[in-house]
A and B are shown apart, each in its own frame.
Chain A
């Protein structure tokens, strides 16, 4: 795979060697006492080393200047998407308690920063759910692909699979991540509706994740003929932009996302937590397979923080006239995924659908989130 330098260890490294135990791929080299370095070929850009460095000596590729240049360019029509996990962490940068939702203030701040359209990635999280749910059904009912199906939203997981287990790739959902779906939709459907040339549209993504910076730059992500997402900034970078612009964030009036591709369901909101994609996809699959509307939408069995969890959901399949147990697995933290993959490749896996996220607890603990050392 391409070696892109998203994460860097700076000269402030105290050589404490903590990061090497955090890295799920062994990409960090250096003995205790020696400045550490990152093997970018091995690095999956997750940024977990960055947010766990005791000395803030690890940095990600700062993209603020690119965003500012686009905002200052009168020829550019700049749209922005914000991931679900950003709104519950951004407030920490302004002194609010962790978990406080600042969704409305965030949309207002983005408009003050000069973005032409302010959207919510939840819109395409819903699309991802539909795609992954439908694909799962096709694999289960019509054998259109091997089982189990793995989720495809986490770019760190995708690079890990590509680097380490290329044979597992056919098992991974072919759906793009919500970020990349948004980029494609923005520069095609939205551009058409807004009467903006895709060439003039600049698509910015605010993510809790540093690996998204790598994902947006993948050469195949050009559905519109242009790079679908031009640049990704993290929650930390957005906070920095808001502070630099002198915006009184805490006193901003709440605003909504722009409607065209900004609306969403509650299923999209839970994407940022481990088990969230699975739960959302189960809701879709259940309704599509059973032909019934779910009265109770929560699947509590897939929730939790254990690194590997599993559940069985009985889904009445209208087409077959019988109820089929669907076995699902959830993995949070790539250090726990190897045995799951080995079982799948050996034909021993009991699962139909497996969600994999690199960061412990899901995207809410992503490498682009505020750094807390309290």
Chain B
């Protein structure tokens, strides 16, 4: 581990707010969605019956859509940099994937230096974007155009929406494990969920390339 002192701001306030909103929406959307699909009446009762659970699911879907859109509009530069980062795959990223960043026992090898997000987080970023896009393009027609759509297309929307949810839930579960539970990386949890800072030493170790690019000392907190 590096001997670097101090803290570094990794996640800005609006990013953290958007993450919180998306997280809360995702959890409730996931719970209600699974309740509908598997007809788990207990879940419906929590929300006051299946009719109300459906209303909650739909309107949280609106928040789930509008939240990130507002964030993008008000933080376009930050979002652009995020997209730029997760779109850039170097040899180091592929090497990271070969060793899975050292997270999986048995996969030996040197873990190469990483950007602000490691290769796994980059893939997750794209997966989340694609999953959200599929939720939007299937969810809103299921709600708003359910009477106008051909039945086969409506059925297809339901199938895509469900399998999209399965993939997203599994991905987010993995993300949660690595960010909140795994001893090597759980410092990320406090950063994203509280004040946005991580120990500079941790950042220098896990995000060496990004850390090296930090020019503005004001981002370092003593």
Contact residues of A with B, CB < 8 Å? 11, 14-18, 20-21, 31-35, 52-55, 373-374
Question: Would you call A16 and B154 a contact (CB within 8 A)?
Answer: yes
Residues of A within 8 A of B142 (CB): 16
Interface hits, B136-154 → A, CB 8 Å = 142-143, 146-149, 151-152, 154
Asked if B46 is at the interface of the complex by the 8 Å CB criterion, the answer is no
**Chain B: interface residue count, which band?**
20 to 34
Bound state CA distance, A35 and B148, in angstroms?
A: 20
Question: Would you call A18 and B151 a contact (CB within 8 A)?
Answer: yes
Q: How far is the CB of B140 from chain A (nearest CB, A)?
A: 13
Question: Would you call A373 and B147 a contact (CB within 8 A)?
Answer: no
Q: In this complex, what residue of B is CB-closest to A14? A: B158
Give the segment of B1-9, B51-59, B123-131, B195-203 that binds chain A: B51-59
Residues of B within 8 A of A55 (CB): 155, 158
Question: Would you call B155 and A54 a contact (CB within 8 A)?
Answer: yes
Asked if B71 is at the interface of the complex by the 8 Å CB criterion, the answer is no
Asked if B25 is at the interface of the complex by the 8 Å CB criterion, the answer is no
Asked if B50 is at the interface of the complex by the 8 Å CB criterion, the answer is yes
Asked if B189 is at the interface of the complex by the 8 Å CB criterion, the answer is no
Bound state CA distance, A35 and B146, in angstroms?
A: 15
Q: Which of B39, B151, B154 has the most CB of A within 10 A?
A: B151
Q: How far is the CB of B26 from chain A (nearest CB, A)?
A: 19
Main secondary structure of the interface of B (DSSP, over half): helix
Q: How far is the CB of A49 from chain B (nearest CB, A)?
A: 10
Main secondary structure of the interface of A (DSSP, over half): loop
Question: Would you call A52 and B50 a contact (CB within 8 A)?
Answer: no
Question: Would you call A18 and B146 a contact (CB within 8 A)?
Answer: yes
Residues of B within 8 A of A34 (CB): 50-51, 54
Bound state CA distance, A34 and B58, in angstroms?
A: 13
Bound state CA distance, A271 and B155, in angstroms?
A: 32
Cβ contacts B50-82/A at 8 Å (1 or 0 each): 110111011000000000000000000000000
Q: A33-B51, A54-B154 are in contact. Are A17 and B147 (CB under 8 A)?
A: yes
Asked if B36 is at the interface of the complex by the 8 Å CB criterion, the answer is yes
Q: A14-B158, A17-B147 are in contact. Are A33 and B50 (CB under 8 A)?
A: yes
Question: Would you call A33 and B152 a contact (CB within 8 A)?
Answer: no
Question: Would you call B158 and A373 a contact (CB within 8 A)?
Answer: no
Partner of B54 from the list A11, A32, A54 (CB cut-off 8 Å) is A32
Q: How far is the CB of B171 from chain A (nearest CB, A)?
A: 24
Question: Would you call B146 and A32 a contact (CB within 8 A)?
Answer: yes
Bound state CA distance, A16 and B155, in angstroms?
A: 9
Q: Which of A11, A31, A54 has the most CB of B within 10 A?
A: A54
Q: How far is the CB of B5 from chain A (nearest CB, A)?
A: 54
Q: In this complex, what residue of A is CB-closest to B151? A: A54
Question: Would you call A54 and B158 a contact (CB within 8 A)?
Answer: yes
Residues of B within 8 A of A32 (CB): 54, 58, 143, 146
Question: Would you call A17 and B152 a contact (CB within 8 A)?
Answer: no
Bound state CA distance, A33 and B139, in angstroms?
A: 13
Q: How far is the CB of B46 from chain A (nearest CB, A)?
A: 14
Q: How far is the CB of B214 from chain A (nearest CB, A)?
A: 48
Partner of B152 from the list A16, A21, A374 (CB cut-off 8 Å) is A374
Residues of B within 8 A of A17 (CB): 146-147
Q: In this complex, what residue of B is CB-closest to A32? A: B54
Chain A to chain B: the 9 pairs with minimum beta-carbon distance, closest first: A33-B54, A54-B155, A21-B147, A54-B151, A373-B152, A54-B154, A52-B151, A34-B51, A31-B51
Q: A33-B57, A53-B151, A373-B152 are in contact. Are A16 and B51 (CB under 8 A)?
A: no
Residues of B within 8 A of A53 (CB): 151
Q: How far is the CB of A40 from chain B (nearest CB, A)?
A: 22
Residues of A within 8 A of B147 (CB): 17-18, 20-21
Bound state CA distance, A229 and B124, in angstroms?
A: 64
Bound state CA distance, A55 and B155, in angstroms?
A: 7
Bound state CA distance, A34 and B57, in angstroms?
A: 13
Residues of B within 8 A of A11 (CB): 39
Bound state CA distance, A257 and B194, in angstroms?
A: 81
